[in-house]
């Protein structure tokens, strides 16, 4: 199987105890069965502690129970912010999740594409400073590996969608272009003639409801919850910023390479695009709020934290999927009306 990587992939290295938002914090750590089998053979104090703190979560997965006494964190993350399992048993005996995060592998058309999760601050920094990072994933060599015309069309559609986010236009216009183009792509894949989105029988989606959706998610960090709640109160007066837009373009490309082909394959390319639009409304709303009140949070941390709070939670993904598939207000047409409404306020 051929492997394709973004430009920065091989340069990434975990910065361990220098990390400002470690993956050892906030999450339950999955323990795969092969690793647990090994842990069951470990003797001494560490082996006993591992067995005592490995539990079954509400989804039936084996996980390390969170240590809530000193903030929600992995119980093997010590006071020096280093991993006791890594120190005691070696890197080769970390669970699959710990050994691989933030590396993600997505298989498409007989090839593996490897990306890094934006939920890791160090990976986020690489993504924010690298131009055209995903070119290899859409190179002609990648298209040549497509087994048929339809999959080649899908890979090319992804490339053209990502290209939208590299233009110098304000982000709100790029989101409209992306939504409109994806609607055309969906029609072509369904064997229909491309046609403009007809919004005449639709009502405008409400930006407030997008904030309410996110407020109803499982939220790990109190600081994130407080900031989200405050930004929600002012969400109808978002001041859009070009500085934020530049960074968000890189985040949008990450979303496209993480989700677009999968959702296109599942017959719903709009899913990935709507998620990008929702991510933009929330993160630019938060940026607008912190900018107004001089709160010191970097753009990288807003985007990274959004990824950590929303993308890596099974429960939040389910809630997002339910909202996108069952709420009429989140149709492509209603979202287009909302984006056009934001543009009207700008002009």
Alpha-carbon span 302 to 283, nearest angstrom: 6
Residue 16: HSE in the Cβ half-sphere, 13 Å Cα cutoff: 12
Maximum Cα interatomic distance, the chain, rounded to a whole number of Å: 70
**9 is a contact residue toward ligand SF4 (CB under 6 A):** no
Q: Are 277 and 218 in contact (CB under 8 A)?
A: no
Residue 340 Cβ, how far from ligand SF4 at the closest point, in Å? 38
DSSP, collapsed to helix, strand or coil, labels residue 297 as coil
Alpha-carbon span 106 to 97, nearest angstrom: 15
**23 is a contact residue toward ligand SF4 (CB under 6 A):** yes
What's the token pair of residue 39?
């842990």
**247 is a contact residue toward ligand SF4 (CB under 6 A):** no
Q: Given the complex with ligand SF4, which of 104 and 343 has the nearer CB atom?
A: 104
Q: Are 3 and 112 in contact (CB under 8 A)?
A: yes
Single residue of 3, 14, 295, 318 touching ligand SF4 by CB under 6 A: 14
Alpha-carbon span 23 to 211, nearest angstrom: 25
Single residue of 26, 28, 122, 186 touching ligand SF4 by CB under 6 A: 122
Q: Are 183 and 277 in contact (CB under 8 A)?
A: no
DSSP, collapsed to helix, strand or coil, labels residue 173 as helix
Single residue of 50, 85, 115, 120 touching ligand SF4 by CB under 6 A: 120
Q: Given the complex with ligand SF4, which of 121 and 285 has the nearer CB atom?
A: 121
**116 is a contact residue toward ligand SF4 (CB under 6 A):** no
Single residue of 22, 95, 227, 307 touching ligand SF4 by CB under 6 A: 22
Residue 175 Cβ, how far from ligand SF4 at the closest point, in Å? 28
Which residue stretch of 36-44, 120-128, 136-144, 273-281 sits at the interface with ligand SF4 (rule: CB under 6 A)?
120-128
**15 is a contact residue toward ligand SF4 (CB under 6 A):** yes
**87 is a contact residue toward ligand SF4 (CB under 6 A):** no
Which residue stretch of 105-113, 116-124, 126-134, 287-295 sits at the interface with ligand SF4 (rule: CB under 6 A)?
116-124
| DSSP letter, residue 289 | H
Q: How many CB atoms lie within 10 A of CB 112?
A: 13
Q: Given the complex with ligand SF4, which of 16 and 42 has the nearer CB atom?
A: 16
Alpha-carbon span 275 to 99, nearest angstrom: 28
**283 is a contact residue toward ligand SF4 (CB under 6 A):** no
β pairing state of 54-56 and 103-108: unpaired
Q: Given the complex with ligand SF4, which of 99 and 197 has the nearer CB atom?
A: 99
Single residue of 9, 64, 101, 280 touching ligand SF4 by CB under 6 A: 101
Which residues contribute to the site for ligand SF4 (CB under 6 A)?
A: 14-16, 19, 22-23, 101-102, 120-122
């Amino acid at each position: 199987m051929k492997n394709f990587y973004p430009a920065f992939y091989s340069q990434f290295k975990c910065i361990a105890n220098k990390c400002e938002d470690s993956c050892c914090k906030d999450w339950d750590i999955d323990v795969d069965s092969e690793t647990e089998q090994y842990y069951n053979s470990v003797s001494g104090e560490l082996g006993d502690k591992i067995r005592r703190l490995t539990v079954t979560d509400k989804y039936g997965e084996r996980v390390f129970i969170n240590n809530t006494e000193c903030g929600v964190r992995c119980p093997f993350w010590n006071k020096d912010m280093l991993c006791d399992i890594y120190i005691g048993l070696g890197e080769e005996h970390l669970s699959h999740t710990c050994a691989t995060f933030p590396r993600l592998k997505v298989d498409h058309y007989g090839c593996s594409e490897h990306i890094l999760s934006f939920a890791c601050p160090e990976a986020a920094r690489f993504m924010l400073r690298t131009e055209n990072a995903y070119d290899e994933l859409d190179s002609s060599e990648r298209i040549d590996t497509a087994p048929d015309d339809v999959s080649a069309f899908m890979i090319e559609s992804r490339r053209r969608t990502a290209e939208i986010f590299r233009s110098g236009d304000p982000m709100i216009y790029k989101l409209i272009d992306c939504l409109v183009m994806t609607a055309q792509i969906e029609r072509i894949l369904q064997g229909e003639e491309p046609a403009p989105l007809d919004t005449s029988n639709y009502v405008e989606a409400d930006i407030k409801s997008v904030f309410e959706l996110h407020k109803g998610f499982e939220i790990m960090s109190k600081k994130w919850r407080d900031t989200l709640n405050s930004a929600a109160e002012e969400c109808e007066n978002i001041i859009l910023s070009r500085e934020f837009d530049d960074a968000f373009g890189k985040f949008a490309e990450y979303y496209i390479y993480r989700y677009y082909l999968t959702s296109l394959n599942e017959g719903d390319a709009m899913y990935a695009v709507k998620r990008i639009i929702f991510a933009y409304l929330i993160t630019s709303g938060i940026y607008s709020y912190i900018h107004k009140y001089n709160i010191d949070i970097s753009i990288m941390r807003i985007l990274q934290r959004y990824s950590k709070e929303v993308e890596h939670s099974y429960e939040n993904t389910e809630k997002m999927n339910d909202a996108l598939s069952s709420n009429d207000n989140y149709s492509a047409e209603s979202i287009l009306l909302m984006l056009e409404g934001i543009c009207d306020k700008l002009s």
